[in-house]
Amino acid sequence: MLGPSQPYLSIYQVSLYLHRDMIALTPFFKEAPTSFVATLVQLLTPVFGAPGDFIVTVGEVALEMFFVDMGVVEVWNAKTSTMYLAPTLKP
């Protein structure tokens, strides 16, 4: 247990430490100021997917953005009937 004179980490600080590289490696946010990244990190919500789950479907209105931090993502192109593996930050 931490005492009053001992430092502690807030949930925000831990989240920033864990996710800042993931956001910084995303080309869309590469030039984003640190303050923006810090705000974005506070808005992240973990979502877990099982094999076979769909993250997005062609034609859906995009209301969310997903960062795939770990695992494998298969991308299915219905027009060409092909599937490929999308790169993620961690295998």
Phi and psi at residue 22, in whole multiples of 5°? Answer: -60, -45
Determine the pLDDT at residue 52. 82
pLDDT tens, per residue, the chain with 91 residues: 555 555 666 877 888 888 888 887 888 888 888 888 888 888 888 888 888 888 887 778 888 888 887 788 888 777 778 877 776 666 5
- Within 34-87, residue ranges assigned H as helices are 34-43
pTM for this entry: 0.62
63-69-74-79 Cα dihedral, nearest 10 degrees: 40
Angstrom CA distances, 55 to 24, 52, 70, stand at 22, 10, 14
The domain segmentation of the chain, as residue ranges, is 11-86
